[in-house]
Amino acid sequence: SDSDAESEPAVKRPKVEDHTKLVATHYNEIEEKGLAERSQSRIVFMRNFNNWIKSMLINEYLNKLKASQKLGSPLRVLDMCCGKGGDLLKWEKGGITHLICTDIADVSLEQCESRYKKLNNRFDNRFGKVFTAEFFACDSTLVRLRERYKDPSMELHLVSCQFAFHYCFESMGQAECMIRNAAECLAPDGYFIATIPDANEIMRRQRQAGNRSFGNDVYNIEFICDTEKPPLFGAKYKFKLEGVVDCPEFLVHFPTLVKLCKKYGLKLESKVGFADYFQKSLPDGKGLLSRMQALETYPAQKNAKLVGKDEDYAHAQEYLGQ
């Protein structure tokens, strides 16, 4: 309202659409890098590690669902903020039957759809479709997703939002919209899983640095909000990660998230930091971790060796503790 504008003359707030356009443009413009170029990136091990965490998390919940379902039951998934489809193979390996993919970045979504088509072509002749899928570009913080589904009455078993949920904490309205999207089509025994930056850890590092801007030669965070008392919504910072991300993000105040989720019928089952999730998942995920070469971290790469032996896992602690 006008009176709001008068009370905040010094802060020029971008409109919601301006900010989300910025995010979409940023992700659209990240070119599809070849495997070779990607593996030269200084953050390759961290990316692989994050990817391993996602694999373990997705498998954990698909397995829970399969254990409680009858054999041959449908397994329908929403990949909210799917990006270029980095998790498509995980869905294929997990044996799901239907996937809904959506992202605000239309170019990324097109790449995701064409990856899916390629995956399908590999299977089509011999086994039929790998799984059915639908794709649409939209802002999950502003649009009711269910209205875009081919069948709006469809029940989902798993909603996954990986490394993206924090974008909705720009305002309470956006957070509620995203949470409702995650919750409203879930079957009664379905799950919503997400990975987000740890707001407490970010604030700890900010306090330690004693500066609005901090980081190292791989990442940088610059706060664009009150750091003494960050707001519950709109606690904005610019996050730069070498060659991958250069985008405004928002802190997620976890107790507020839990409260909002409750309003939409979701109950907190588990909240785990990456360090603890790593420890918990290691016994089952050692083989995959090795294959993904997920542990050596920059700058601890000077004597880089392939991961595989137990003592190599010490490097993970270095990354997680950084």
**Interacting residues toward ligand SAM by CB under 6 A:** 20, 23-24, 27, 81-83, 86, 103-105, 108, 139-141, 162-164, 167
Question: Least distance to ligand SAM from the beta carbon of 3, Å?
Answer: 29
**Residue 83 or 285 having the CB closest to ligand SAM:** 83
Between 201 and 226, whose beta carbon lies closer to ligand SAM? 201
Residues 6+ apart with CB under 8 A from 183: 159, 192, 261, 264, 265, 266
Name beta bridge partners: 316. none
Residues 6+ apart with CB under 8 A from 144: 177, 180, 181
Q: Which is nearer to ligand SAM, 29 or 269 (CB)?
A: 29
Q: Are strands 219-223 and 236-241 parallel, antiparallel or unpaired?
A: antiparallel
CB of 138 to ligand SAM, least distance (A): 7
When the beta carbons of 14 and 226 are compared against ligand SAM, the nearer one is: 14
Measured from the CB atom, is 241 or 300 closer to ligand SAM?
Answer: 241
Decide whether 37 or 226 has the Cβ nearer to ligand SAM: 37
By beta-carbon proximity to ligand SAM, the closer residue of 6 and 147 is 147
How near is the Cβ of 49 to ligand SAM at its closest, in Å?
13
Number of H helices, E strands in the chain: 11, 9
With respect to ligand SAM, which residue has the nearer C-beta, 75 or 82?
A: 82
CB of 255 to ligand SAM, least distance (A): 22
Backbone angles phi, psi at 163, to 5 degrees: 55, 40
Q: How far is the CB of 54 from ligand SAM (least distance, A)?
A: 6
Pick the closest to residue 159 from 144, 134, 180, 175 (CA basis): 180
**CB 108 to ligand SAM: min, Å:** 5
Distance CA 78, CA 145 (A): 10
Residue 157: enclosing H or E segment and its boundaries?
A: strand 156-162
Least distance from C-beta 242 to ligand SAM, angstroms? Answer: 14
Least CB distance to ligand SAM at residue 57 (A): 11
DSSP string of 25-83, one letter each residue: HHHHHS----HHHHHHSTTHHHHHHHHHHHHHHHHHHHHHHHHHSPTT---EEEEET-T
CA dihedral for 81, 86, 90, 91, sign (positive or negative): positive
Which residue's CB comes closest to ligand SAM? 83
Query: Under a CB-based contact definition with an 8 Å cutoff, are residues 263 and 183 in contact?
Result: no
Q: Which two tokens stand for residue 168?
A: 């909705």
Residue 47 backbone dihedrals phi, psi, to 5 degrees:
-60, -45
